[in-house]
A and B are shown apart, each in its own frame.
Chain A
Amino acid sequence: MKVRHVAVAVAVLALIAAPYAIQEPYYVNIASQILLYAVFALGLNILVGYAGLVSLGHAGLSGVAAYGVAYLLAAGYGHAVAIAAGLAAGLIVTAGFAALALRASGISFIMITLALGEIIWGLAYRWISITNGDNGISVNARPAPFGLSLDSANGFYDATLIVFLLALAACAVFVRSPFGAALAGTRDQPRRMNALGFHVWMIRFWAFMFSGLLSAIAGILFVYYNQFISPQALALTASAEGLLMVISGGAGTLLGPVVGAALVVIVKNVVSAYISRWNFMLGAIFVAIVVFMPEGLVPGTVRLARGAWRAANRRKPAAESAGAAGAAAPVAEQKP
């Protein structure tokens, strides 16, 4: 237990210190991107990993919040109002998504979320009087909470890190809670859960809302990071990318989506500088993950580490007992 606390403290300190080590604003910005996509992936993972419901429309949920903020800022409202309204819009649309998609599960659920995501994308693209169509909406300034400017790469990184840590902590508490256990139960045995007295639909609905809240928060970080939003951010590829982050890192694990987000963002931004066909690179990495660690990078690494640990431990006692083979044999015989 104590080892875990120390590890968490070290990780948090490393994240705080990261911009000073990186220095280059371009790479600090990439670190910010990783964190904001991690928030998005954490939200998606609540549904995909813990509820067993795969959504292909989550970029739409982020997009609604992002457009809400951009629209209200362009209309002259302050940051606080814009952020609150963006979150509210994201949650209202999430409730609509959930009400429609939760009529089904499995493939049908995926198809409904896909269709709903495409509707949001279509609205962003075609409802020009609100969204400015393909030209998108620019955001002129980032907020300055408590007088701290977020204009610099480091300032924005710090703000994103705080939001990310809060989101991660919320997820950590959520998955260990009674409600989290109930949600995982509906993933594994929905019929049994119903017979045990659980309201399966309602459990999934609130999980969807939590997932949508994190998506909306990620969307708001996204629009402030880019200071621009266009329909491209809501496209199916954006939803699919989120899904790849969750699955490659490890669905249903706390850190999997974070690792997945880092992987995708790094390949997209860093590797693409050296290899023009970076999409090919990303695809090859995913194929490798699916072949060697189908459960995802985080649980896969844990599995390999445990295996190595066990193998190392087995070798050690074997070497020790080899000298005292006569003493060891009767002990083994007593066992059955």
Chain B
Amino acid sequence: MTALAVKNLSKSFGGLHVTTNVNLTVEPGERRLIIGPNGAGKTTLFNLITGEIAPDAGAVLLFDRDITRLASRKRAHLGMARTYQIITLFPRDTILHNATLALLGLSPLRWNPWLTLARQRRLSAQARAALNRVGLQHMAERPLAETSYGEKRRVEIAMALAQEPRVLLLDEPFAGLSIDERRDVRELLKRIPRDVTVVMIEHDMDTALDLADRITLLHFGEVIVEGTRAEVVADPRTREVYLGE
């Protein structure tokens, strides 16, 4: 059984082929790093996997189940969670409320119009536990708008982890972070248990190399190289893509 499989996936925007015949097989518990320069189609690939855009051709399989035509929200209920490269949070609300929304998304409570959300003890306890995992429990009541960029990144990750996903997709989790913040986030990602499969996009090759079991190099929407860390780093095509020679 594979955790996540992408088969012959293609997507064009007009004449621009953003994803060309991409194949990807990620084993349960694997840490997969997808690297590639700007415009390689990494985020588009994520959007295809999570169902935010529909592919022109090909299939996406989650634990051998074909989810190609499934709505994003249904993929979340099947155990797929993601973070965004461009922070996509709820700025008017507190950090705790952000985490609570992530939990609410998978709870039948979300249709309830008469209970008081703030009084749902179990939900807020779970939300605090999720914030604890990323070290933000002490500022749970702080409005999101008053937090730093690095804290927002951690809220993103807390929300994804709160959903206890089987497959976690991280879109450039280190983007825009300081060296200290990068170290914190790296420690945080290392602590994710192995029953969660992690697929991570990174623009910069060195940042996340040590987190990966296998690496896929994407360029102009195509898979150029795939293999273990050592194989991909040693491959001359990697150097060509990154050094332009």
Q: Which chain A residues have a beta carbon within 8 Å of chain B's beta carbons?
A: 173-174, 176-182, 184-185, 188-189, 191-200, 206, 210
Contact = CB atoms under 8 A, between A and B. Distances in A.
21 contacts: A174-B113, A174-B114, A177-B113, A177-B114, A177-B115, A188-B92, A191-B88, A192-B88, A193-B101, A193-B105, A194-B52, A194-B71, A194-B72, A195-B50, A195-B72, A195-B82, A196-B105, A197-B77, A198-B104, A198-B110, A200-B73
B38 interface: no
B90 A188 contact: yes
A179 B111 contact: yes
Interface in B114-128: 114-118, 120
B36 to A, nearest CB: 22
Contacts of B115: 177-178
Nearest to A179: B113
Contacts of A184: 90, 92
B117 A181 contact: yes
Interface string B83-113: 0100011111000010011101111011111
Contacts of B104: 178, 181-182, 196, 198
A194 B73 contact: yes
B136 interface: no
Nearest to B82: A195
B76 interface: yes
A148 to B, nearest CB: 29
A131 to B, nearest CB: 34
A185 B72 contact: no
Contacts of B73: 194-200
A171 to B, nearest CB: 11
B10 interface: no
Nearest to A185: B101
A177 B115 CA distance: 5
Contacts of B90: 184-185, 188-189, 192
A198 B104 CA distance: 8
B92 A178 contact: no
A22 to B, nearest CB: 35
Contacts of B159: 196
A181 B97 contact: yes
A173 B72 contact: no
Interface pairs A-B: 4 shortest CB-CB = A196-B105, A197-B105, A197-B76, A179-B113
B161 to A, nearest CB: 13
A199 B82 CA distance: 17
Contacts of A193: 101, 105
B221 to A, nearest CB: 22
A181 B114 CA distance: 11
Interface in B127-178: 159, 163
Contacts of B117: 176-178, 180-181
A201 to B, nearest CB: 10
A189 B88 contact: yes
B72 A188 contact: no
A200 B101 CA distance: 13
Contacts of A177: 112-117
Contacts of B92: 184, 188
B84 A196 contact: no
A9 to B, nearest CB: 20
- Residue in A176, A177, A195, A206 with the greatest tally of chain B CB atoms within 10 Å: A195
A10 B120 CA distance: 29
A49 B101 CA distance: 19
A17 to B, nearest CB: 30
B4 to A, nearest CB: 16
Contact of B100 (A181, A191, A210): A181
A108 B212 CA distance: 45
A210 B104 CA distance: 21
Contacts of B102: 196
A203 to B, nearest CB: 8
Contacts of B118: 176
Given A176-B117, A189-B90, A197-B77, 17 more contacts: A173-B116, A174-B114, A178-B117, A178-B120, A179-B112, A181-B97, A188-B90, A192-B84, A192-B88, A192-B90, A194-B52, A194-B71, A194-B72, A196-B104, A197-B105, A199-B73, A200-B73
A173 B77 CA distance: 27
A196 B113 contact: no
A225 B117 CA distance: 37
A197 B106 contact: yes
Nearest to B159: A196
A195 B89 CA distance: 12
A173 B105 contact: no
B120 A191 contact: no
Contacts of B50: 195
Contacts of B109: 178
B75 to A, nearest CB: 8
